[in-house]
Copies of this chain bind each other. A is one copy, B any other.
Amino acid sequence: VRVIYMKKKATTIDVARKAGVSQTTVSRVLNGYSHIKEETREAVLKAIEELEFSPNEIARSMVKQKTRTIGVILGDISNPFYAEAANIIITNAREKNYDVFISDTDYCYDAFDKNIRTMIGNRVDGVLIAAIYKKESSINELFKYKIPVMFFNVLPHGKEHNYIIANNKRGSDLAVKHLKDLGHTKISMLSYPSKYPSYYLRYQGFLESMKKYMLPIDEDVLFKGGYIYEEIYPFVKEALKRSDAPTCFITTTDQQAIAVMDSVKKLGFNVPKDISIVGFGNIELSSHPYFELTTVSIQKKTMVQLALEKLILLVEDDQQEPIQIVLEPELIIRKTTSTRRKKSI
């Protein structure tokens, strides 16, 4: 194959020369300016075609001082929650003619910090954030530069932020009430309070609801950890060995619920006949025929779509009231919960 040295990318000036007009006119055609004689417009269009001209968005961004790019900061894009969020954002942004600049922090503060700086450097028009860290200093950088920021799924400390989150406490309440209504009284909770503020709220909500319904909170069947099978199995085993074993489990995430289900089955119990399980999050996997998990949905799709939509509003109209939305969760009843069995296990 011969190496063909291609001409450099054509510019508006090249197009102008070819069409025999000024560069300004080319720009006007490109931007759909109306008062142009039909024949000059056609000449310009023809030259654009022939030169394979593609407008340089970099230059355009520079002069317009707008990039039509939204930055998105996620925890870890290989986590299904964030991946689905990314998908929704990319699709919706494309419709509104915005580009999306995604970065994941891999739960590491340095990366988070670097991402923020990259976004500032690249002059994104706005930033969507779904992962925050204790040291939030670099978020302040965004505010310094007056870049609109919208949080979703996480609630930062300051009260003047824009955010869309789920009512996590209410979600736990739905789960507890559902189990109570099915006749369960001994409920085990798998919490994960240290991971994110939202997880902490699920835990808090659980405690509050248990009190509200006057159900006993048994510290011995309260798990505080992660979602790794190797941690969860021993906990479940111990819990079910007890004379006053729980008849059901509430978890902080669907991943935990799946691990619980696996453990329960491995220990020879039937779900939901012997043991009921309620997850939290309604990840895609939870509806898999293998699991059919009863779980609390946090309306992820609505949340993400709304977050993008509102951010674009902030970007395009700077004078806006802070946007603060709390979405109500919903209980998705599938096949892992049933009425409490009579005899204890």
- Chain A residues with CB under 8 Å of chain B are 1, 6, 9, 52, 54-59, 61-62, 67, 76-78, 80, 83-84, 86-87, 90-91, 94, 99-104, 106, 111, 114, 117-118, 120-123, 141, 144-146, 160, 229, 258-259, 262, 284-285, 289-290
B87 lies within 8 A of A104 (CB) = yes
Extra pairs beyond A57-B121, A87-B106, A101-B101 (5, CB < 8 Å): A55-B121, A56-B123, A78-B83, A94-B111, A102-B102
B57 lies within 8 A of A123 (CB) = yes
A84 lies within 8 A of B80 (CB) = no
The residues of B that contact A141 with a CB separation of less than 8 Å are 54
A87 CA to B83 CA, complexed, in Å: 10
A285 CA to B285 CA, complexed, in Å: 10
Neighbour of A54 across the interface among B1, B117, B284, CB < 8 A: B117
Q: A77-B86, A90-B77, A290-B258 given as contacts; is B99 within 8 A of A118 (CB)?
A: yes
A67 lies within 8 A of B78 (CB) = no
A102 lies within 8 A of B100 (CB) = yes
Most B CB contacts (10 A, CB to CB) among A84, A87, A146, A284 go to A87
A9 lies within 8 A of B87 (CB) = no
The residues of B that contact A229 with a CB separation of less than 8 Å are 289
The residues of B that contact A86 with a CB separation of less than 8 Å are 77-78, 83, 86, 102, 104
B122 lies within 8 A of A58 (CB) = yes
Q: A6-B146, A77-B77, A83-B83 given as contacts; is B90 within 8 A of A121 (CB)?
A: no
Query: What are 23 inter-chain pairs, A to B, with CB distance below 8 A?
Result: A1-B160, A52-B145, A54-B121, A57-B118, A57-B121, A57-B122, A57-B123, A58-B58, A58-B62, A58-B67, A62-B62, A77-B77, A77-B83, A78-B83, A80-B80, A83-B86, A86-B86, A86-B104, A87-B106, A91-B106, A99-B118, A100-B102, A285-B285
A86 CA to B100 CA, complexed, in Å: 14
- CB nearest neighbor in B for A114: B94
Most B CB contacts (10 A, CB to CB) among A77, A94, A117, A289 go to A77
The residues of B that contact A106 with a CB separation of less than 8 Å are 87, 91
A102 CA to B82 CA, complexed, in Å: 14
A104 CA to B85 CA, complexed, in Å: 12
How close is A98's CB to chain B, nearest CB, in angstroms? 10
B102 lies within 8 A of A90 (CB) = yes
Enumerate the 8 nearest inter-chain pairs by beta-carbon distance, A residue then B residue, closest first: A83-B83, A78-B87, A57-B121, A78-B84, A78-B83, A77-B87, A57-B122, A229-B289
How close is A1's CB to chain B, nearest CB, in angstroms? 6
